[in-house]
Amino acid sequence: MRELLGSLKIQIPEQLYVKDPDSSDLGRKIIETSIILIEDLGFESFTFKKLGTAIGSPESTIYRYFENKHKLLLYLISWYWAWLEYKVAFATANVNNCEDQLKNSIRVICETVTQDQNFSHVNEEVLQRIVISESSKAFLTKEIDAENKNGYFKNYKNLIERLVRIISGISSDFEQPRTLASTLLEANHLQKFFGVHMPSITDIDMKDENLINFMETLTLSILQNGAKRS
Amino acid sequence: MRELLGSLKIQIPEQLYVKDPDSSDLGRKIIETSIILIEDLGFESFTFKKLGTAIGSPESTIYRYFENKHKLLLYLISWYWAWLEYKVAFATANVNNCEDQLKNSIRVICETVTQDQNFSHVNEEVLQRIVISESSKAFLTKEIDAENKNGYFKNYKNLIERLVRIISGISSDFEQPRTLASTLLEANHLQKFFGVHMPSITDIDMKDENLINFMETLTLSILQNGAKRS
Amino acid sequence: MRELLGSLKIQIPEQLYVKDPDSSDLGRKIIETSIILIEDLGFESFTFKKLGTAIGSPESTIYRYFENKHKLLLYLISWYWAWLEYKVAFATANVNNCEDQLKNSIRVICETVTQDQNFSHVNEEVLQRIVISESSKAFLTKEIDAENKNGYFKNYKNLIERLVRIISGISSDFEQPRTLASTLLEANHLQKFFGVHMPSITDIDMKDENLINFMETLTLSILQNGAKRS
Amino acid sequence: MRELLGSLKIQIPEQLYVKDPDSSDLGRKIIETSIILIEDLGFESFTFKKLGTAIGSPESTIYRYFENKHKLLLYLISWYWAWLEYKVAFATANVNNCEDQLKNSIRVICETVTQDQNFSHVNEEVLQRIVISESSKAFLTKEIDAENKNGYFKNYKNLIERLVRIISGISSDFEQPRTLASTLLEANHLQKFFGVHMPSITDIDMKDENLINFMETLTLSILQNGAKRS
DNA sequence: CATGAATGAGGCTTCATTCAT
DNA sequence: GATGAATGAAGCCTCATTCAT
């Protein structure tokens, strides 16, 4: 994967930043450090002031890159979904059987992330934990309609679309491929969170297999059964 | 249902309030008004100061009832889940067939709420929208472990447990009834939100039937198929 | 001492309370508990609300006895000085030699207090620690002149006067007996505090003898030498 | 003294401020105005809001310099002790006789301050009144041990040490030079306060000579007599 | 006499942001 | 392009106190 991605760059909607953080060392440091800090403090307690202190620059410097902390979060989340889409793309490339494509995708989506050497300034492992805990806060806002219109969630939709194509490849008359795809992505994160913090409302545990198995069964069952029913 | 619930009172974990808001007119007004206001402003912009202004009392009065706005939100959410559990209880009472119990439950859970005349100070319709938009913020925090330990989410778990019993009644060897129940509850809300605000990532629309149908199919499929597979 | 004091009651200036706390069980409980609580929290953090919670009564009840927490503190301090004056009185009764009277007085003043069985609702040991830490805050205020005029410090002055009489008995031409007496009382407390919290600016240690010896030497030296010099 | 101190700067422990107030005009204005305001209102009633209004800046500006009003007070007090140590240093320079050194020191310590032209933004006269009324509140707190450990009282200790060296120069076998030095400094302030506000418990009056004479006699007597006794 | 409910004022502090350099 | 200084608005919360019962 290293060579394939060697010249690839994760594309983030331009509207999310003032100046591309991937265009300077300082920018990359902002990304790198903000990931650590948001994980540490939680997004509510995270501020540009604290980030500034952590990277040894004043708050005002960060405003050169991001309009506010909400957009920085959207940037990180967007990065995550784009990166996950690449991973799904590679996991399904040259796989002819659609069901296998779906299984591979679910595995990539549900497995706990480990550091990807291709993007040295992003700790994907920590980033995943941020997306689990914070991503829903990024869209469950009063501004969602305007932000959605502005294309802030483009990368998330791209991933959904890719999954929809795979789903439709398996069962072209299944009527709710988008509902299924978004349910899969969101339920995955929630269950991971419940597994750690509210174990009494889930049966999954720390091991990924458990969760992968559930998601696979859930998805394939509805595609077989659902076609008949819906 | 009116008569049955006539003397019933929704039980909320004591740790969530300083003084039971259901014990005074002012307390009920706080509940009633906070629901409207949180829906209007979003939880982030909602403050005790604004709530005070809305009910014609100073902020400090509200602190007699709730320690902070986070606990008020937890109270409202807890109320919602308890109320929903009652609705599920009634929808499944005297229904012998387990699959019918599940279908009735899903219908109750997924249908858009209309005002329940039994609890005049709570506008359940608006409350549901709050739970959809804000409930995940209430548990996706750094304090989740402590709060969970303190029993803040008891009513949510009660509902999950009720669903688990129904699920296990259908397929006693299905291994992940909790995962399925919590996925059902959370996915329901998310899809409702996507239906309104991000229609491109869901296939459900404003009509409940669509969503109910998806959830029913998803659940029953995995219970039929899943038993064999898992 | 028990019999002698059996029928004695510590007299506190009436202006310091609304209703005499020594006239009811609740009042005595207020005194007893406030001593513990002020020591625990420090006077700044101590509030009537917390005191109310501790004695199981609402704040408003305490306002029946004391106008505000400042007056409650003045009451406690006043009680302490009155009590100390009695102790000095007994320690000097029937002692003919003036120098012995002074030595006995210094001992009583400087030794670390142990519970006096005569006043069961007052823990003198803890009260002394309060007086050490908080008494200067009670007079170093903008209201000192008015409060002094109102007689709030009467018991303190009584003790000073008693010491002045002893001092003048030793050296009638010593010109600053009041300065010496107040210096003795205040320095005693400060040095006790420094001994525990700022050991680098004092030579006294936990043992009383050390402090008593210093105070005795200081006082007697100036009375011998001072007469000649001043 | 002007020339000598021309290039001197009072050193304050760094832990006491966020940004050195002596490094900007605004900072010096904060110092200058806070001295006036604390004297006027008393420390309890003094707030950053009022200080802000007085200097025509919002509260938040002051937080750039000091974490809270308690640290600002510690800064002022620390400044005072450092300044007093310089005065003692100059008053004893080139004085060979130790007793004369002590006498000169006592005079400098006990005389009522007049404005020092070397530090234009500090009104030492008013500052002394603040130290008299407020300094004990700055250490008689629940946080004393932590703050002492953090070095907040360094300048006070420096002055004590200087006095200890002089005392030991007079009587090297006197066992309690620290106790004597701290008693001298604190008693001086208390008596000044009593002289103004509680004249019935002191014999000193408005004139400095009276107090200087007492402190000198007290100190020298114990050093002569104490050596024999202790 | 004691209580419980309610209040209004204001304290301390943090934030997100702007502007001049 | 990066910085450091300064700001204004507002949040959250606590206190001391009053009043009607």
Measured from the Cβ of residue B86, the count of other Cβ atoms closer than 10 Å reads: 19
Nearest alpha-carbon partner for B43 in B145, B135, B143, B125:
B135
Cα D143 from chain centroid?
20
Q: What whole-number distance in Å separates Cα of residue B125 and Cα of residue D48?
A: 46
Which two tokens mark A107?
């595995």
Disruptive mutation site among B165, B216, B221, B222 for chain A (greatest number of A CBs within 10 Å): B221
- pLDDT tens column, D24-54: 889 999 999 999 999 999 999 999 999 998 8
**Per-residue model confidence as pLDDT tens digits over B88-135:** 999 999 999 999 999 999 999 999 887 666 777 788 999 999 999 999
Q: How confident is the model at residue B7 (pLDDT cuts 50, 70, 90)?
A: low
The distance of D152 to chain C (nearest Cα, Å) reads 12
**Sequence-ordered list of residues with C-beta below 8 angstroms from that of D87, at least 6 positions apart, any chain:** D108
CA distance C186 to C120: 27
Residue B9 (CA) to nucleotide E6 (C1'), in angstroms, measures: 26
Candidate from A133, A145, A190 with C-beta closest to B186: A190
Rounded CA separation A37/D40 (Å): 44
Output the six-digit token pair for D208.
């400095």
Residues 48-87 of A with CB under 7 A from strand F: 57-61, 63-64
What is the rounded average pLDDT for all residues in chain A?
90
Q: In whole angstroms, what is the distance from residue C33 CA to residue C54 CA?
A: 7
Q: What is the pLDDT of residues D59-105, one digit of tens each?
A: 889 998 998 999 999 999 999 999 999 999 999 999 999 999 999 99
What is the rounded CA–CA span in Å between residue C66 and residue C15? 10
Strand F nucleotides within 7 Å of a protein CB: 1-20
Residue-level length of chain D = 230
Q: CA-based angle C42:C44:C45, to the nearest 5?
A: 70
Q: pLDDT tens digit string along D164-190?
A: 999 999 999 999 999 999 999 999 999
The contacts of residue A110 (CB under 8 Å, 6+ apart) are A188, A208, A211, A212, A215
- C113 DSSP assignment: P
Residue D169: helix, strand or coil by DSSP?
Answer: helix
What pTM does this model have?
0.88
Long-range contacts of C156-164 (CB under 8 A, 24+ apart): C156/C77, C156/C78, C156/C81, C156/D201, C157/D200, C157/D201, C158/C81, C158/C82, C158/C85, C159/C81, C159/C82, C159/C84, C159/C85, C159/C88, C159/C185, C160/C185, C160/D200, C160/D201, C162/C85, C162/C88, C162/C89, C162/C105, C163/C88, C163/C105
Q: Which CATH number is B145's domain given?
A: 1.10.357.10
CB-contacted nucleotides of strand E (7 Å): 1-20
Of A4-18, B194-208, C53-67, C134-148, the poorest mean pLDDT is in A4-18
Which nucleotide comes closest to D60 if you measure CA to C1'? F7
Which residue of chain B comes nearest to A149, CA vs CA?
A: B198
C-alpha closest to that of D135 among D38, D61, D205: D38
Could you give phi then psi for residue B100, rounded to 5 degrees?
A: -65, -40
Amino acid A156: pLDDT: 96
User: Could you tell me the residue range of the domain that residue B125 belongs to?
Assistant: 2-229
- Give the separation between CA A167 and CA A85, rounded to whole angstroms: 15
Q: How far apart are CA D1 and CA C195, in angstroms?
A: 36
Q: How many domains does chain C have?
A: 1
Contact C180, C167 (CB under 8 A): yes
Residue entry with tokens 């795809």:
A181
> Is there a contact between A121 and A29 (Cβ–Cβ < 8 Å)?
yes
* CB pairs < 8 Å spanning C and D: 150
Mean pLDDT of chain D: 90
Report the distance separating Cα C123 and Cα C121, nearest Å: 7
Burial of A90 (0-12, 13-18, 19+ CB in 10 A): middle
pLDDT value for D2 = 40
**How many CA atoms lie within 13 Å of B64's alpha carbon, on the beta-carbon side?**
15
Report the C-alpha gap between B174 and B159 in whole angstroms. 19
d(CA D121, CA D124): 9
Contact yes or no for D73/D147 (Cβ under 8 A): no
A205 three-class SS: coil
Is residue B153 within 8 Å of residue B79, measured between CB atoms?
A: no
Interchain contact, A187 vs B183, CB within 8 Å = yes
Categorize the per-residue pLDDT at A1 as very low, low, confident or very high, splitting at 50, 70 and 90. very low
Residue-level pLDDT at D101: 96
Contact D80, D128 (CB under 8 A): yes
The mean per-residue pLDDT over the stretch D139-161 comes to: 94
CA distance A71 to A78: 10
Q: Is D161's pLDDT higher than 90?
A: yes
- E strand or H helix at D176, and its extent? none
Per residue, the 3-state secondary structure of A145-171, as one string, reads HHHHHCCCCHHHHHHHHHHHHHHHHHC
From first to last of its 230 residues, chain C has per-residue pLDDT tens of 444 444 568 889 999 999 999 888 899 999 999 999 999 999 999 999 999 989 988 888 999 999 999 999 999 999 999 999 999 999 999 999 999 999 999 999 999 988 766 777 788 999 999 999 999 999 999 999 999 999 999 999 999 999 999 999 999 999 999 999 999 999 999 999 999 999 999 999 888 999 999 999 999 999 987 455 44
